[in-house]
Every structure is written in structure tokens, then in C-alpha cells.
Amino acid sequence: MNKIDLADQTQVKGWMRYFEQQNCIPYGVNSHNKDSVKGLLNFIQAQVRGLCKANHHASETITIMLVGIPNVGKSALANSLHQMGRISAAEKGRLKHATVSPQPGETKDISSFKIGSHPNIYLLDTPGILPCMIHDAELCSKLVLTGAIRDGLIEQKELARYFLAILNLSDQYKKWAKFSANEDRLLSFIEHKEEGSISSKLEMRQKKQHMMDHTQDLIVNDVRGTIFDTISCFDGDIELEEDMIKLMEAELVALRDAFRVPQGLGEYVYNRVVGVKLLDLYRSGRLGHYTLDTLPLTLHHPL
């Protein structure tokens, strides 16, 4: 289970139990964390040695295949395991490198990476796979939201609204109370709204803020605070579809200031810019940890 750092940890435990009940051996990993990758490598090597010992083939070469939907980090995991495996075995030579991209479909060929010695262990990185046709609209939305399907399939505004609906129904926003209406965000709001009445110094600051990377902590915290304030001030019932739509529209409008979106762009461009930035923060884990799929009802809790 890759990208474990982006998932809801309480849900992860449930999924671990589920896979165990399916006679699978689950393991959670973050392919960008060295300690996590090292733990997975040790786990794989231990499993392989156990298989070799049971089959009385101590020198057998083992090949493992990475299989999954697009853009779940297969290539990143292959690179990390390859690098860690060579370091552990003190091997020399040129490192191989699989192409890694935030866009799905970059891996087009099967590549082999050595990740262990004594016995030799090779890992096959493979292209992502999906069914030719997906008839379930919600499943399709989840795949686009996580980046398994290119964003163009669904408009940015609709995709952003889908994420906001998930966020609004969770308790994640409650953790952002400390970012509520802080002075920096209020000052930014004043600069953005009162262009004709501020000094040249503040005008310069506003222009710089408009050019700021939306992944910087200042803006991320403003986004969190804006979402917290908007949800907290909403007096509707988000369990009702009509009220949820009203809340999402209010959030999209409020987030224009949080993201320092320049004025005068037009409604369509506003929504697209906010949508792109919001989804980027979600996919990088800056707006909380989420597990989109619910556990099957067949899960049996241990006594």
C-alpha cells in the first residue's frame, strides 16, 4: 500500500485487516521516505529468503512485479527500492532510473530493477492498468481526483467541488481552527479588496503575494483558515444536497482571496485557477489525509 502518508491512518488499519482476511500480506509504505523504503526492502528480503528456504533453492533468482492503477507511485517505489537495495548490497555501477511524473501514463514499458542480492531479487516496474470502460461515475471521480486519470475528463470546478464535499463531511477542517482569521490573512484580504486606498508599499506586497507559490506555508495556512471559517459560519445542513452545494460555492469564492487570485479574470478562469491549486494541495497531502474507498461490509473484526 503505497502513499501511506496521504491516507487516513484509522482507515489504513481497517484495510490492513481486510487484506489479511483475504490471505494477502499487506504492507504500508511511503516511497519518498528512506526509513519506510528500507523497512519494505527488509520485509521483501525476509519473505524471499523464507520462500527460498522452504523450496530448498538458496541461490534462486526471484522476480517481483509491481502492478497497480496509474499514478500510485509504482515507478517512484521502484527507484527507491533499487537505490536502497544497491546501497545495502554495496554494489557499484550506474543506477537505473524509472521516469516519475505527477501525470498518469508516463510509464509505457516494463523495466527491471535489481533490489537485492543473495538471493538476487529483481523488481519489474509496469505501466498502470485500468478497465477499458468505467461505468461507475463515483469511481471515475475518485480516480480523477487521485490523479489516476488525467484531469481533463472532469472540469476543474466539478472536481474541486467533489473534493470539498469529501472535506466538508470529514472532521479534517476542525484541526485548522488555529488558522482562523489570522492577521496575515486579514491584511492580505484588505490589500486584495481595497486596491485604490492602500499605499504603494502595500500595493507592492500585494503584487508579490499574487506571484507566490500556492504551496508555500503562508498560503496553505490561509487556505486552511478560509475553509475552516467558511464551514464554521455556514448555518445550513450539509447532509442536504442543496445546502452542501451552497457551502461549496461559498468556499470556492472565498478561496480566491486565500490563493491570491487576481481580480477581473472572469468566473470560468476563477474557478479553474482555484480548482487547480486546491487539487494540487489535496494530492500533496497539505489539506489532510483521506481514504476515499470505504471498507467492504464483509470485514470481520477480530474478537
Beta bridge partners of 63: 122
Residue 207 pLDDT: 53
pLDDT interval class at 303 (50, 70, 90): very low
* Distance of alpha carbon 137 from alpha carbon 72, whole angstroms: 20
pLDDT in tens, 16-43: 999 999 999 999 999 999 999 999 999 9
pLDDT in tens, 211-266: 567 888 999 999 999 999 999 999 999 999 999 999 999 999 999 999 998 888 88
- Label residues 152-180 b or e (16+ Cβ within 10 Å = b): eebebbebbbbbbbbbbeeebbeebeebe
Residue 263 pLDDT: 84
Across residues 88-107, what is the average pLDDT?
Answer: 61
* Distance of alpha carbon 293 from alpha carbon 46, whole angstroms: 30
Could you tell me how far CA 112 lies from the centroid of its own chain?
26
Burial of 260 (0-12, 13-18, 19+ CB in 10 A): buried
Alpha carbon separation from 25 to 44, 120, 160, 303 (Å, rounded): 11, 21, 35, 20
pTM, entire model: 0.79
Could you tell me how far CA 199 lies from the centroid of its own chain?
40
SS3 122: strand
pLDDT in tens, 141-185: 999 999 888 877 788 899 999 999 999 999 999 999 999 875 455
